[in-house]
């Protein structure tokens, strides 16, 4: 699998930046994980809209889904429908995704298992003000996981077990206790406890450079630490 970062901040972008969005590829399959503001423009530097296999959204906060509302025009103009997987809550936000049936919409549950392009996807609900699912992908060799937005919780610890590469919310540079996001310290602790091989920090504050997170976090993680810079790619 190959991961490319399309956006890396929340809950709003820095100058010239983009909020959460990642492209996960396996062979010709292209699965987009979250589609925050600015990510569609970055995705289009890599592939055509016709090449998108599916979109999976961790949760329905605007910094993770806002470009879906412009992608739908591009799909409508091409007469295309693509699969979209997202939590069904809040109702009003979920209903907004059913515009002209350009998305073949499936609610995410913990029971959902998807086979897309040689990857098996599974899901577990995390801890966030909106219903948020961590997304796991296994290609028969390696396991990748993206947390979406989450605070520290038992479900996160459970789901991280056996993960090779973890793309993880680390919104707070300082080790604050939060019911919304992880601090970098908690992201590193959780990854260390699970024996993760590579930790990719993301969901940075738009007011702090990713390099600052990396400098402070490096040396505390037992595996290889990376930062999700826009357009960086990682082999998984």
Using the minimum distance from each CB to Zn ion, give the nearer residue, 119 or 128: 128
Checking DSSP bridges between strand 224-227 and strand 133-138, what pairing results, if any?
Answer: unpaired
Stretch that binds Zn ion, among 66-74, 147-155, 183-191, 211-219 (CB under 5 A): 147-155
Q: Is 13 in the site for Zn ion (CB under 5 A)?
A: no
Using the minimum distance from each CB to Zn ion, give the nearer residue, 74 or 180: 180
Q: Could you say which of 6, 7, 10, 25 contacts Zn ion (CB under 5 A)? A: 10
Site for Zn ion in 58-117 (CB under 5 A): 61, 63
> What is the C-alpha separation between 11 and 130, in angstroms, rounded?
14
Using the minimum distance from each CB to Zn ion, give the nearer residue, 143 or 202: 202
Residues 6+ apart with CB under 8 A from 10: 19, 20, 36, 61, 63, 64, 149, 171, 203, 204, 206
Q: Is 38 in the site for Zn ion (CB under 5 A)?
A: no
> What is the C-alpha separation between 187 and 182, in angstroms, rounded?
6
Q: Is 169 in the site for Zn ion (CB under 5 A)?
A: no
Q: Is 34 in the site for Zn ion (CB under 5 A)?
A: no
Site for Zn ion in 170-199 (CB under 5 A): none
Cβ atoms of residues 167 and 31 within 8 Å: no
> What is the C-alpha separation between 140 and 144, in angstroms, rounded?
11
Name the one residue in this structure whose structure tokens are 């806002």. Answer: 66
Site for Zn ion in 39-68 (CB under 5 A): 61, 63
Q: Could you say which of 31, 43, 149, 184 contacts Zn ion (CB under 5 A)? A: 149
* Residue 76 vs residues 23, 43, 70, 100, 102: alpha-carbon distances, Å: 22, 18, 10, 8, 6
Site residue total, Zn ion (CB under 5 A): 4
Residue ranges in contact with Zn ion by CB under 5 A: 10, 61, 63, 149
């Amino acid at each position: 699998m190959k991961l490319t970062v399309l956006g890396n901040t929340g809950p709003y972008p820095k100058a010239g930046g983009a909020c959460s969005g990642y492209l996960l590829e396996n062979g010709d399959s292209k699965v987009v994980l979250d589609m925050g503001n600015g990510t569609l423009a970055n995705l289009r530097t890599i592939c055509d809209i016709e090449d998108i296999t599916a979109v999976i959204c961790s949760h329905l906060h605007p910094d993770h889904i806002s470009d879906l509302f412009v992608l739908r025009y591009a799909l409508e103009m091409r007469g295309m429908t693509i699969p979209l997987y997202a939590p069904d809550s809040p109702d009003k936000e979920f209903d907004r995704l059913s515009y002209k049936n350009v998305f073949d919409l499936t609610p995410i549950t913990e029971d959902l298992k998807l086979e897309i392009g040689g990857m098996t996807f599974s899901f577990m609900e995390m801890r966030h003000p909106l219903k948020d699912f961590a997304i796991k992908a296994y290609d028969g060799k390696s396991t990748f996981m993206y947390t979406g937005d989450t605070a520290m919780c038992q479900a996160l610890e459970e789901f991280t077990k056996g993960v090779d590469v973890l793309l993880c919310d680390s919104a707070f540079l300082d080790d604050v206790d939060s019911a919304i996001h992880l601090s970098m310290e908690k992201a590193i602790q959780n990854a260390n406890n699970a024996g993760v091989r590579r930790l990719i920090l993301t969901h940075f504050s738009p007011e702090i450079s990713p390099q600052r997170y990396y400098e402070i976090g490096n040396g505390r993680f037992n595996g290889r630490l990376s930062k999700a810079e826009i357009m960086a790619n990682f082999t998984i």
